[in-house]
Amino acid sequence: MKILLVDDEEIIHLSYTEHLQDGGFEVLNAYNGNDALKLAREENPDLVILDLLMPGKDGRDVCKELKNDEETRHIKIIMLTGKDEQHDRVLGFELGADEYLPKPYPVNFLEVAVRKQLGLHPYPDMD
């Protein structure tokens, strides 16, 4: 299954990408909202892990555009952010996010959340 990881922090890409690939996922990387939208439309990932706060087009904008586009609205979105205020969570869900997790989020828990959103067993050996 294909995951698009969108974050402007290199360390997030390095740790999450490696762990998700070890879990058997194909991981695409984008570092800003515009590249995320382009990749989502070209590659049709099964899930997007999306940082809320990025320069330029932020995660809210990307989430809204993906969920309002008939070709991409089926894509599951996990909003991942260091901003863990209640109103931000509510807004994320209102825009169509399927899950909202605080950052930094432990990579092994992130994989469980990814697998849950994709309808897979939380432990890969049991699929």
Q: Is the peptide bond before 104 cis (omega within 30 degrees of 0)?
A: yes
Confidence category of residue 66, pLDDT binned at 50, 70, 90 = very high
Domain that holds residue 27: 2-126
Can you state the angle between helices 59-68 and 33-43, rounded to 10 degrees? Answer: 30
Pair of tokens at residue 52: 């809320």
Average of pLDDT values for 62-86?
Answer: 90
**Contact (Cβ atoms closer than 8 angstroms) between residue 118 and residue 26:** no
Residue 84 — very low, low, confident or very high, per pLDDT cuts 50/70/90? low
Q: How many domains does the chain have?
A: 1
CATH of residue 22's domain is 3.40.50.2300
Tens-place pLDDT, residues 1-30: 999 999 998 988 899 999 999 999 999 999
Phi, psi of 119 (to 5 degrees): 75, 25
